[in-house]
Amino acid sequence: MSALETVEEHRSHSGVQGVYRHSSASTGTEMTFSVFVPDHAEGAKLPVLWFLSGLTCTHANVTEKGEYRAACAEHGVIFVAPDTSPRGEDVPDDEAYDFGKGAGFYVDATQEPWARHFAMRSYIERELPALVGKHFPVDLDRQGITGHSMGGHGALTIALRNPARFRSVSAFSPIVSPLNCPWGEKALGGYLSPDREAWRAYDACALIDDGARIDHLLVDQGTGDDFLETQLKTGLLIEACEKAGIAADIRMQDGYDHSYYFISTFMAEHVSWHAERLAR
């Protein structure tokens, strides 16, 4: 287990908002993430909500714009926000915003030059939870996961692959089927291989079609989102959940776009929704 470096900590909303750095065995790089810990009784263990960010983002986007702290303090929920990809001078990159640094897609890459560092699936599913469990007062038997856009894709697929681990899953504007959109075809084809069968483990709709199940799901999607029809394709998730009998509250929010103005509007509702399920 690597040592944890404190980058910064601030008192906020009756808790502590911190940013931390460590050396990752999964990615072979330094990784930075943020954690909000509400005030709590000495020795108490709190439920944890993971937030996975979207394309071009780091931990900082939701930490600075997500407006989750008041709700997390009210409900006693720890909030963890990882980065979206490995970083560093030796990490390969691409000129486009939707591939390379900032666009890890929460996969374990198998193709060169990406395979050495782009192991975000292993980092999020195994390494980071173990690290957070060691250094923060989290109850790893009470985990929820959410995310935005590419991070919504990550939240859905990670939860579907690990249904016993997560008591709750939600998403904001998720990429629901990378198999059927340009962002996903570029990322999965580049990180994995041209073999589309290898992509199915990273496609929420395909995972559901292949038998993966979660008990319940909350999704908010803005109708004014410029990416709705070409990249996000929320209707495919609605169809997959209906066919599989998954209880899904998929809310089309009139006029909202893809930005953090949208996310921050509904963040407190998502935190409350997760808290109710994590308290059981």
Which of the residues are catalytic?
149, 225, 258
Angle CA(66)–CA(70)–CA(76) in degrees, nearest 5? 110
Backbone torsion region of residue 228, taken as left when φ is above 0, otherwise alpha when ψ lies between -120 and 50, otherwise beta: alpha
**Cα-based torsion angle of the residue sequence 249, 79, 40, 135 in order, rounded to the nearest 10 degrees:** 140
Taking the alpha carbons at both ends of the chain, their separation in whole angstroms is 31
Using CA atoms, how far residue 89 sits from 9, 96, 101, in Å, is 26, 17, 11
DSSP 97: T
CA atoms of 217 and 106, how far apart (whole Å): 19
